[in-house]
Amino acid sequence: MPYLKIETNKEVDGGAIQEALKRTSGFVANLLGKPDKWVMVSIDHGTPMIFGGSTEPMAYLEMKSIGLSKDECADLSKDLCDFIASEFDIPADRIYIDFHDIDGKMFGWNRGTF
């Protein structure tokens, strides 16, 4: 049940957002080795944001997944930053990522939990 939330101050064209969602979902599925059918991605774009006193392009990501290990977060950060930099033209040094390991019993789906 990986969930990636992307919040950015960049505007993304309406037609391009759907394709960006699909590419991002596939990327996350591959990155975490999980089926795409379990991956959820949201993109909030055009959000007023400031980072380091500048409103240049930036992004804040939240990555949540069952079984996310602290030991893999550094590698995940590199891969996610590279992907976001390429996909949205946002420099890696203007991206923050908040990782969360989710206890399956604390995450609901389809009238139950994982």
Annotated active-site positions, please? 2
Beta strand 95-102 with 3-8 is unpaired
Beta strand 95-102 with 108-109 is unpaired
Sign for the pseudo-dihedral over CA of 21, 6, 58, 33: negative
Cβ(27)–Cβ(61) below 8 Å: no
Closest CA to 61 of 10, 21, 101, 8: 8
